[in-house]
Structure 1
């Protein structure tokens, strides 16, 4: 049902999200298909690390020292960023003691998953030490680790206000100028909180008279250097992204209960916040939050966020991955939206919400706003008025902040709509990087991790996304829990429950021709006419400017630049197919791109469509059914993609007449010619012998039926003699018609003294040799009627499957039918098929 309702639902939601002509984009265009699919067996250039621990979910990349630091369950690792699998890694064992694990289990926690030390936080503390925190069997601990020696200290710090108890609880943290900024639910039964610790002015969010956070699950945090080049002397800010329960107006329109409805949020605090002097002491005075929507109301569960250009606030933007809310369990889908920092800043400068006691929900605040503006950072303008820090703010402003932390306007995505919608996929994490192409334009390249262990590589193009490829990075399905990009190593690091994977950011050598290279639309790849190869732009970074701009790319359109190039790849070899008239033949053609459409041309001009004159066009190739002489000719299989046409396979098909074998000729000697009356005698004798054979066969059949009657069950007909041990041995390798009638039901004859009953049944698979005397054995790929097995990939041919006949024990059609005639016709056809010389590939 959902398969039929999904396009309609998606179209309605997309069209009604924001008014305007720009949203009249069909939903099928948003549901992007990855161009290439790379299964685990075809991975190249990967590195693996798997230690004795589990849950490699915390990653810290240090480009300067070329080290990848990993936090796992009960262990910390220091890996070489160049090759994480080189074996020269350092390891720290940091397990919870058996006593701590026993206490954790006594609290009702799972001693198989929860009662361990899960390292949740790992950051650089200073030039010599790292700072790590772990759940430690629901008694969190933190430690300052010597980065060079990579050993644990002799003493630890209490982690109750820095790290969550629960390893499954959402958590995010940063170390900024020595201060620790964390957001999670810390203590055993506490409410969620955003805190700053290890700082002269420790701060947290407000709890009374109302909670600023309502059952929040934190996803991501980032420092944006808004003080850089600020004309007003603005402060740096920390942005937090999370999901929480919502009770504001309009939040429950797509749910049955507002109390269970969750929405995505973005919140911010000022780095220079010192808290209030009398009101909001040791509390944030700059905390504000706003709703984050992807403009499809169902997408409310925030899964992952990444920031780009955070060092330059004017260009800072965020990408967020959403999934369907938990109440839509029968429909799985994900969405990707982009948010510009300027839009978020505008929302925080807009109207506020207030909690209305009468309706017990949040509504728009219509009253006056005091000055200085509540929730703003200290700027040059405020300093000129005597407000040098948050502790100088008036009580009226602080009271307003305390009661109005929520903004009225939501933060909408760039251009008012998602960049990508993807059905049957649940994104769990994402990261990205801007890529500047040799020609000059810069594109955002995203890597999206899924819940079943795949990575989608996508480039942002205007108002949409193009998924370059999908890669299966783990043999067994498992969730991608972290992604980190190294530009110096040109690598992507993937953290997951079983280990860490290192992948190259691009595999340009996968594209063999100029057209294939530009169709990929990978910002890292371009066609080099000098070397006649698709190369990574990083490998030619040191060339002269003229050589760099000679690299052929077309990221925007993906189809221009190769018109004058002869690097279209070698033409495919011409293959010959020979088939008898009336047989079927498959001309395989594997499309390497999921976005390409197969085009078949006969003799270079006549286009073939599905169902036309005995042709079936499918994902495996072209199936010619009931081949006739007019089907002979040259067939070309082309891939049509984005306006380009590429030849993939070429065949020469010859349909031979299925004439019966000539009868043996009598010697041309005197006396060889028989008189008409003698020939008549021969005919009568043969007829008499045939009649006797028929009577004898009928008698044997009658006796057999009587024996079956005595045993109380009916006997099935057999097409041949089966060995007493091996059962039925007759198999037919040509699809033939079946006689009318119903199948007889019966049991198999038991014991070694009788033949097994069998009948004809259509089953998938290849046929066995014919009854004795068998023909010479053929290779498994080529059957005796000129047909071969289907290719190993992409079995479906427009919903039809072509199979072989084989004996089984499921009954035989009843009613008048001559199996001998059927067998004779098939064997006669095979006999002539064997006379065809130089049989080439074919398939059912």
Structure 2
């Protein structure tokens, strides 16, 4: 610890003396070796703020674990706070666990594949493991039933679950699941259910080569089969932006899809992150673009880090809604700079985007492809109504009440101009956090109210080695990682990360296990100094009990909290002991 403190002050001195050092280096024949040494020291000092203040191993994390020998291949998870259940879908089985205590299994139902179907699947060249039934999608319907879809030996099939009197009941009737989930259980896809309307993005055929973004049901729509619309995409997540609730012109709601794909606007092969926007009430065109999206627009989603911003690939997206002003809602997204997990140059980052900024990009200029194949800004007159616009009062007044009323000129323009010129950039212009160890994967964000009434957005970021980092970002001192927790005993990716803000519980799954932990657990901070230095928005020092405890529901009179600089000088002298980790606040 003494070494760390000395190193910190050494780095401070080095930084303050940089002009002098550079002058001396020039005098000393501009030694490249010495210059490199100084730059390495400075870069190490700047990276310190991204090192978790503490790392807690699996055996020391206060968590609940559910694991069964015959239950693996966990492929989906659904939190049902209304009935207090966690639904887990795996290989040939669906299990329900109590949200309060996941060690208590409340129900189980099997959904196996017949030996005939499995044999037929294997004759098509698939492995015996992949020819099982993996439950890869679960969504709650308005009537409380759960739509469940499984890969069923490369023959996607859907049915419904009912949770009644503590029992999980599967309906006898099934329906074709092709187009709703991929055939391959290992393939990633995205889905969202709203008002009993299912949106999906993924492959729709046996080989997994044809990929689509579509809406199912009565007014089914899908993407146009053009390279400029989707180019070998990897679908990430789908979100609803309820613009109708705040729009002064009664604008239709938006549906946003995040993905990565090959960049059609680049001469050389390059993958980029994208955000796609369609309109919820889109009905397709009357003649042109029949049963196709008439509002499909996409833009480059940038997260500049690692010196190569064009290679930042989105991995997961979480929407933190602002109930007071929807346009101030923020999308938090994890990115990787290199898909090769073994690469020593691989980095990860978290970037944040405001909904209003994304919406503004889709009101901007279009790109168009020239005869030579280059994509350039479209400078000619744009058709009216403005292509891709969601229906509003102004359009309704001109007779455009649905997409069926859109003129062919607008629809023909849409077919060939799905790409926007402007790039969606992060709120801060740069990442909130950058990491160079295990790659970031899933992310969830909780809005926490501290003792002074201020709100703080706490991020929980998983990586591909089974760890979760608890981090906070503020405009004053940037990002900091409060702690990292090992949620998997063996290094393996965390597949799902879901948060119950109501109960303050975080749920995560790997391929073989489910973990639950309280995000409000402050017991790891063993002294007042330790409690305050951590600057954990969930925690404060209780004057009466002499313990670090959750501040939720507590009064200022009974608790101490300092999130500004972690100064523990306000601690009672009897509780300011040597158990604290006395790192400088900027490094905590």
Q: What is the TM-score normalised by the length of structure 2?
A: 0.87
Question: Residues 243-642 of structure 1 correspond to what in structure 2 (within 5 A)?
Answer: 243-249=260-266, 258-259=268-269, 261-296=270-305, 297=309, 299-309=311-321, 312-326=325-339, 329-358=343-372, 360-462=373-475, 464-538=478-552, 541=553, 547-548=555-556, 551-559=559-567, 562-563=569-570, 565-570=572-577, 593=581, 639-642=582-585
Q: Distance in 2 between matches of 1:304 and 1:214?
A: 19
Deviation of 1:326 (Å): 3.3
Question: Residues 126-165 of structure 1 correspond to what in structure 2 (within 5 A)?
Answer: 126-148=142-164, 149-165=167-183
In structure 2, the CA distance between the partners of 1:549 and 1:95, relative to structure 1 (3 Å rule), is farther
Contact 1:559–1:643 (Cα < 8 Å) also in 2: no
Q: Who is 2:141 aligned against? A: 125
Deviation of 1:519 (Å): 1.1
Q: Distance in 2 between matches of 1:417 and 1:131?
A: 39
Q: Distance in 2 between matches of 1:185 and 1:482?
A: 21
In structure 2, the CA distance between the partners of 1:218 and 1:571, relative to structure 1 (3 Å rule), is closer
Where 2:312 maps in the other structure, the secondary structure is: strand
Deviation of 1:549 (Å): 6.2
Q: Distance in 1 between matches of 2:571 and 2:171?
A: 65
In structure 2, the CA distance between the partners of 1:231 and 1:26, relative to structure 1 (3 Å rule), is farther
Give unpaired runs (5+ residues) of structure 2.
Answer: 1-41
Contact 1:131–1:144 (Cα < 8 Å) also in 2: yes
Where 2:74 maps in the other structure, the secondary structure is: strand
Q: Distance in 2 between matches of 1:99 and 1:145?
A: 25
Q: Distance in 2 between matches of 1:307 and 1:27?
A: 32
In structure 2, the CA distance between the partners of 1:388 and 1:27, relative to structure 1 (3 Å rule), is farther
Q: Distance in 2 between matches of 1:228 and 1:485?
A: 25
Q: Who is 1:107 aligned against? A: 124
Deviation of 1:310 (Å): 6.1
Deviation of 1:94 (Å): 1.1
Q: Structure 1 residue 54 and structure 2 residue 61: aligned?
A: no
Q: Distance in 2 between matches of 1:192 and 1:205?
A: 9
Deviation of 1:355 (Å): 2.4
Deviation of 1:531 (Å): 2.6
Contact 1:243–1:263 (Cα < 8 Å) also in 2: yes
Q: Distance in 1 between matches of 2:557 and 2:133?
A: 52
In structure 2, the CA distance between the partners of 1:348 and 1:47, relative to structure 1 (3 Å rule), is same
Where 1:449 maps in the other structure, the secondary structure is: strand
Give unpaired runs (5+ residues) of structure 1.
Answer: 1-24, 253-257, 573-591, 594-638, 646-844
Deviation of 1:158 (Å): 0.3
Q: Who is 1:589 aligned against? A: none
- Superimposed CA distance per residue, residues 139-167 of structure 1 (whole angstroms, 9 cap, x where no aligned partner): 10011222324222212100112111111
Q: Distance in 2 between matches of 1:548 and 1:75?
A: 48
Q: Distance in 1 between matches of 2:378 and 2:242?
A: 31
Q: Who is 1:216 aligned against? A: 233
Contact 1:223–1:310 (Cα < 8 Å) also in 2: no
Residue 55 of structure 2, aligned match among 25, 37, 54: 37
Q: RCO higher in 1 or 2 (8 Å CA, sep ≥ 6)?
A: 2
Where 1:402 maps in the other structure, the secondary structure is: helix
Q: Distance in 2 between matches of 1:479 and 1:95?
A: 25
Deviation of 1:308 (Å): 0.3
Where 2:220 maps in the other structure, the secondary structure is: coil
In structure 2, the CA distance between the partners of 1:367 and 1:496, relative to structure 1 (3 Å rule), is same
- Superimposed CA distance per residue, residues 228-248 of structure 1 (whole angstroms, 9 cap, x where no aligned partner): 132121111111111111121
Q: Who is 1:225 aligned against? A: 242
Q: Distance in 2 between matches of 1:168 and 1:468?
A: 33
Q: Distance in 2 between matches of 1:488 and 1:337?
A: 26
In structure 2, the CA distance between the partners of 1:420 and 1:640, relative to structure 1 (3 Å rule), is closer
Deviation of 1:528 (Å): 2.1
Contact 1:67–1:81 (Cα < 8 Å) also in 2: yes
Q: Structure 1 residue 186 and structure 2 residue 193: aligned?
A: no
- Superimposed CA distance per residue, residues 401-425 of structure 1 (whole angstroms, 9 cap, x where no aligned partner): 1111111111111121111111122
Deviation of 1:35 (Å): 0.4
Deviation of 1:316 (Å): 1.0
Deviation of 1:341 (Å): 0.8
Contact 1:559–1:644 (Cα < 8 Å) also in 2: no
In structure 2, the CA distance between the partners of 1:106 and 1:417, relative to structure 1 (3 Å rule), is same
- Superimposed CA distance per residue, residues 312-367 of structure 1 (whole angstroms, 9 cap, x where no aligned partner): 52221111111123379342221111111111111111111122341x34332222
Question: Residues 700-711 of structure 1 correspond to what in structure 2 (within 5 A)?
Answer: none
Deviation of 1:49 (Å): 3.7
Contact 1:235–1:272 (Cα < 8 Å) also in 2: yes
Where 1:509 maps in the other structure, the secondary structure is: coil
Where 1:274 maps in the other structure, the secondary structure is: coil
Q: Structure 1 residue 195 and structure 2 residue 220: aligned?
A: no
In structure 2, the CA distance between the partners of 1:528 and 1:407, relative to structure 1 (3 Å rule), is same
Q: Structure 1 residue 166 and structure 2 residue 179: aligned?
A: no
In structure 2, the CA distance between the partners of 1:369 and 1:91, relative to structure 1 (3 Å rule), is same
Q: Distance in 2 between matches of 1:570 and 1:415?
A: 38
Q: Distance in 2 between matches of 1:130 and 1:505?
A: 28
- Superimposed CA distance per residue, residues 536-579 of structure 1 (whole angstroms, 9 cap, x where no aligned partner): 022xx1x5xxx34653222232226x43632434468xxxxxxx
Deviation of 1:211 (Å): 4.6
Q: Distance in 2 between matches of 1:361 and 1:482?
A: 40
Contact 1:298–1:325 (Cα < 8 Å) also in 2: no
Q: Which is worse superposed, 478-487 or 145-154?
A: 145-154
Where 2:560 maps in the other structure, the secondary structure is: coil
Q: Distance in 2 between matches of 1:321 and 1:417?
A: 13
Q: Distance in 2 between matches of 1:464 and 1:30?
A: 12
Contact 2:327–2:354 (Cα < 8 Å) also in 1: no
Q: What is the TM-score normalised by the length of structure 1?
A: 0.61
Q: Structure 1 residue 239 and structure 2 residue 265: aligned?
A: no
Could you say which structure has the larger radius of gyration? 1
Where 1:167 maps in the other structure, the secondary structure is: coil
Deviation of 1:506 (Å): 2.8
